Amino acid sequence: MLDESVKTPCIGICSTGIGDSVCRGCKRFHHEVIDWNAYTAEQKRIVDRRLAGFLSQCVSNKLRVLDPALLKWQLKVQNVRFAAHHDEYCWVFSLLKAGAGQIAEPRDFGFEVDLAWRDLPLPALRDRIDAEFYTLSEAHYDRYIATPDLFAGDPE
C-alpha cells in the first residue's frame, strides 16, 4: 500500500500571524502551522486525525448523514474537494463550505439537518459549525498545550 502524504489543511486564512494560538482558518495550533513542512508523515496524520475528529463531532451534533454513497456521489458531481479518508460528516462540511446557499433540499445530497437546527439557513449553520470547530480546537489547545500538566508533579 502506498503511503499517501497528508495534505496541508491550510485554507489560506491564517490568523496565527496576528497572534492567535489556533488558526481561525484551518484550526491548527500556531506551532503546527509554523512547523508543518518539517513534520513527518505520521506527525501530519496525527494532526489530521485530531482536526477531522473535532470537525466530525461538531457536524454530527447538527446534521445526520442518511446516505454516504449519495453524499460522496454529489461531492464528485459538484466537483467539491473533500478528503476521502475522512468520515462522511467531514464530507458534509466540505459540501457546505462549497455551496451551502445552493442546497435547497439536504436529502438530495444524502443528509438532513437535526430538528433543533432546521430553522437556521444552511450558510448560517455552516458558520455555526465552523465557530464550534474553532472553539473546540481552542479549548484543546488551552487544556493540553498552553496549560502545564497538572498531574506531572513538581519538576524540582
How is residue 145 annotated by DSSP?
A: I
Claim: this prediction has a pTM higher than 0.75: yes
Residue 51 reports pLDDT greater than 90: yes
- pLDDT at residue 40 greater than cutoff 90: yes
Query: CA-CA distance, 123 to 129, in Å (whole number)?
Result: 10
Check whether 1 has a pLDDT greater than 50.
no
Rounded mean pLDDT, 105-112: 98
Residue 16: pLDDT band with limits 50, 70, 90: confident
- Taking the C-alpha atoms of residue 120 and residue 137, their distance in angstroms, rounded to an integer, is 24
Determine which of 1-5, 45-49, 86-90, 119-123 has the lowest per-residue pLDDT on average. Answer: 1-5
Task: Place 156 in a pLDDT band, splitting at 50, 70 and 90.
Answer: low
Mean pLDDT of 117-123: 98
Query: How far is Cα of residue 136 from the mean position of the Cα atoms in its chain?
Result: 10
Is residue 72 within 8 A of residue 92, CB to CB? The reply is: no
Quick check: 151 pLDDT over 80?
A: no
- pLDDT score for 19: 87
pLDDT exceeds cutoff 70 at 118: yes
Question: Average pLDDT, stretch 28-37?
Answer: 94
Share of the chain above pLDDT 90, in %: 81
- Judged against a pLDDT cut of 50, whether residue 2 lies above it is answered with no
H or E segment and range at residue 77: helix 68-77
